[in-house]
Amino acid sequence: EAGVTQFPSHSVIEKGQTVTLRCDPISGHDNLYWYRRVMGKEIKFLLHFVKESKQDESGMPNNRFLAERTGGTYSTLKVQPAELEDSGVYFCASSPRTRGDAFFGQGTRLTVV
């Protein structure tokens, strides 16, 4: 069974540009989460989808971040325009349950220069 996959694994963009991160969850997992780790600190929650609906987006930093999950399958996280402080590793996770442990992807390392 394929795990959670994220694309790209690395992205280097200039300040002001747009970047779109993609996450393919484990097939059949209704719950999809986005997290971010900045500068080796804690992994912080961004938002939670249940199927195609946003269950909780309380962790989204600001309106430059837009997440979608069309059709309840894969999800995208767009940052527009990117700022220097957006640099970090963005993790996607999926789970068949609303809470409890989740399966994480390998992450996308975003560097804004």
In the complex, the residues that contact another protein under the rule CB under 8 A are: 4, 33, 35, 40-45, 48, 56, 58-59, 91, 93, 98-107
**Nearest of 93, 106, 100, 111 to residue 45 by alpha carbon:** 93
Compare residues 88 and 107 and give the one whose CB is closer to another protein: 107
DSSP state letter for 27: T
Distance in Å from the first CA to the final CA of the chain: 37
Compare residues 77 and 93 and give the one whose CB is closer to another protein: 93
CB of 31 to another protein, least distance (A): 9
